[in-house]
A and B are shown apart, each in its own frame.
Chain A
Amino acid sequence: MKKIKLSKEHKTYIMVIAIYIIVEILMAAGVLSSHIKGLLVPMVYYAIAAVGLNLCVGILGELSIGHAGFMCIGAFSSAIFSNLVKDILPGGIRFLLAFVVGIAFAALFGFLIGIPVLRLNGDYLAIVTLAFGEIIKNVINAVYLGFDGRGLHASFTSASAMGLDAGGTTILNGPMGINGTPRDANFTIAMLVLLITLFIVQNLIKSRDGRAIMSIRDNRIAAESIGIDITRFKILAFTISAAIAGAAGVLFGHNISSLQATSGNFGYNISILILVYVVLGGIGNIRGSVIAAGILYMLPEMLRGLNAYRMLIYSIVLIAMMLFNWAPGARKWRSRVFGRFVRKEAA
């Protein structure tokens, strides 16, 4: 049999496409429950966000715990756009433009924040990204935005302070957020976005720029000494990473009709949740992020039968998974038990 050598990258694409086909077949066969069907899109947008964060954490080597903030920007800017044009533009082109808007805004903020912030290192960078995410959330909760015949109106106090005309509509209603966003996202589009994301990130890693970025991660001073423009590549990677999180946010905002900037949606704990996917999937391992995001998003949903003990069991499983994956003792034990198994199978 002729041996086909598949690269790591191709295997990732194949895996994603295979999962897509399996799910589509199962869906067509009608064996998927509504519960699972409802989980598909969120699962994919968290996978996209995890891939984006992995670019920042694993490839660039900078810890960010504010990626939910970029998701938030992507979700809100695109949802505002979609609400503005939902009576004018047809679904397909509107959603495409929504992606452009959401990604552009997230990238812009990633760029602006990246310039000053990437001078910082390690935990100081982490805390600034956390601070940024919290600021975004807090500000969106305080903004009111409306639209009428005279154009856009904004206010920081209340919806009535905007003084909208009689026919005007309130789009962003402070803490009440955005209601009535068209639900344009579906599993096919989400998977397509995931594939494009993977394509961009994996090609970036393999490119000259990617090697420059990784050299900064591995040894900043050495990289600088051979003439790599550190700031430029750091900002490049950070901006792309933010833009990808923004794309995940666009899917988030268009998968549910009612969008609020609450801690449960875009707080620091969500940034950390995405970081959990990255770390558990393997830092720098793009395929791992996709798999980990899928499994870990499903896990608490699959544990629903445990009722009150659900989140308790989830936390124990999380700790156990980390220990099993990383602890030297567990690794030894794993290679002893499973190593034998693998050898036998190979023989």
Chain B
Amino acid sequence: MNFLTYLISGISLGSVYAIIALGYTMVYGIAKMLNFAHGDFIMVGCYAIFSIVSATSGSPAGMILGVVAATVICTLVGVTTERVAYRPLREAGSPLAVLITAIGVSYLLENLALLIFGSDPKSFTPVITWSGISIGALRIQGVTIVTIAVSLLVLICLTWFIGNTKSGQAMLAVAQDRGAATLMGINVNKTITMTFAIGSALAAIAGALQCSAYPTLTPYTGAMPGIKAFVAAVLGGIGSIPGAMIGGILLGIIEILGRSYISSQLADAIVFGVLIVVLLVRPTGILGKKIQEKV
């Protein structure tokens, strides 16, 4: 009985990781860059929703407006960041330089939020107010169901988009081989900008769901979930969209079960320990493709 309760908690937490990991893996798989600022895009989205919901005193219309506005703002932030900070370095061909710049962007967003909104935590008004369903003594929260539904929807849409549209195919090509894609007449920069736009919009949605499930908001809200989502994306296999989803949910379940049955103090060590073991057994993650190295 208790096991099922914990399992459901694990899935709730995992679904939040999963939706963040979906956005992460988009950027990570296609632009081949570790966007450490992704977690902070989530935070930007949350503050956008928070401000609009507060201004409209919590009306349902205000919430919808908030989520839409957050999506637009995050997309703009994502695309601008890509254009100003990442693209020049990508052209220089150094992935590490882009990584470091992403750290800089992460600091920048956190400290901007600190100056604008202050350091005090704010309580987020959940955008999902449905209390959920009960099966016997088991309760599944509304926000968990919505998060999983939204994650699945995003998963299906992304898979369709990448498989069936011209832009999606272009993304695949860029992910495979940037040079060859250019030769085939694909505008690599435009494709990567679009990847960032989608990834950042997903960050806004992930933010809305994360803060509905765990309603406290500070300038550092996105940092740790961002790292965990990165771990989830790697666990599932870098660049694999279903992998991100599975990785996220697994990570949540491992974290909760580890905490409940082994040790609450060592929960973090357990999560990362499992990650190491999985990667040793399957060096490219659960759904990752084995890439044959050629000379």
B280 A116 Cβ-Cβ under 8 A: yes
Q: Report whether B284 and A132 are in contact in the complex, using a CB–CB cutoff of 8 Å.
A: no
Residues A222 and B295 in contact in the complex (CB < 8 Å), given A131-B272, A156-B265, A280-B100: yes
B89 on interface, CB distance cutoff 8 Å = yes
CA A151 – CA B97 in complex, angstroms?
50
Find residues 117-175 in chain A having any chain B CB closer than 8 Å to their own CB: 117, 119-121, 123-124, 126-128, 130-132, 134-135, 138-139, 141-142, 156
Per-residue A-contact encoding for B88-117, CB less than 8 Å = 1, 0 else: 110110101101110111011001101100
Give the segment of B14-22, B50-58, B227-235 that binds chain A. Answer: B227-235
User: Is A319's CB under 8 angstroms from B105's CB?
Assistant: yes
Q: Which A residues lie within 8 Å of B92 (CB)?
A: 326-328, 331
The CA-CA distance from A63 to B34 in the complex, in Å, is 12
Question: Are A276 and B100 in contact, with the CB atoms below 8 A?
Answer: yes
How far is A330 from B89 in the complex, measured between Cα atoms in Å? Answer: 10
| CB of B142, distance to nearest CB on chain A (Å) | 32
Contact B275 A131 (CB under 8 A): yes
Q: Of the candidates A124, A272, A315, A331, which one forms a contact with B283 in the assembled complex, judged by CB atoms under 8 Å apart?
A: A124
In the bound complex, CA of A126 to CA of B227 (Å): 13
The reply to whether the CB of A312 lies closer than 8 angstroms to some CB of chain B is yes
Q: Which residue of B lies closest to A325 (CB)?
A: B97
* A57 on interface, CB distance cutoff 8 Å: yes
Is B279 among interface residues, defined by CB-CB distance under 8 A?
yes
Asked if A23 is at the interface (CB within 8 A of a chain B CB), the reply is: no
In this complex, the member of A126, A326, A330, A331 whose beta carbon has the largest number of chain B beta carbons within 10 angstroms is: A326
Residue in B100, B276, B293 whose CB lies within 8 Å of A275: B100
Query: Which residues of B261-275 are within 8 A (CB) of A?
Result: 263, 265-266, 268-269, 272-273, 275
Q: Which one of B111, B115, B269 lies within 8 Å of A139 (CB-CB)?
A: B269
For A, the interface residue count at a CB cutoff of 8 angstroms equals 50
Contact of B279 among A124, A139, A328 (CB under 8 A): A124
State which of B34, B101, B279 has its C-beta within 8 Å of the C-beta of A322.
Answer: B101
CB of A120 within 8 A of CB of B279, answer yes
Residues of B near A319 (CB, < 8 A) are 85, 101, 104-105, 108
**Contact residue among A63, A130, A132, A156 (Cβ-Cβ distance under 8 Å from B96):** A63
From the candidates B107, B272, B283, name the one contacting A135 in the complex (CB within 8 A). Answer: B272
CB atoms of A132 and B272 under 8 A apart: yes
Would you call B254 an interface residue if the criterion is a C-beta within 8 Å of the partner chain's C-beta atoms? Answer: no
- Given A127-B275, A156-B263, answer yes or no on A326-B104 (Cβ-Cβ < 8 Å): no
Docked-complex contact B103 and A276, CB < 8 angstroms:
yes
Query: Can you list 14 A-B contacts (CB < 8 A)?
Result: A116-B280, A124-B284, A138-B269, A139-B266, A139-B269, A280-B100, A311-B111, A312-B108, A312-B111, A315-B104, A315-B107, A319-B104, A323-B85, A326-B88
User: Which residues of A pack against B, CB within 8 Å?
Assistant: 57, 63, 116-117, 119-121, 123-124, 126-128, 130-132, 134-135, 138-139, 141-142, 156, 220-222, 268, 272, 275-276, 279-280, 283, 308-309, 311-312, 314-316, 318-319, 322-323, 325-331
Instruction: List residues of chain B with CB under 8 Å of any chain A CB.
Output: 34, 36, 85, 88-89, 91-92, 94, 96-97, 99-101, 103-105, 107-108, 111-112, 114-115, 227, 230-231, 234, 238, 263, 265-266, 268-269, 272-273, 275-276, 279-280, 283-285, 293, 295
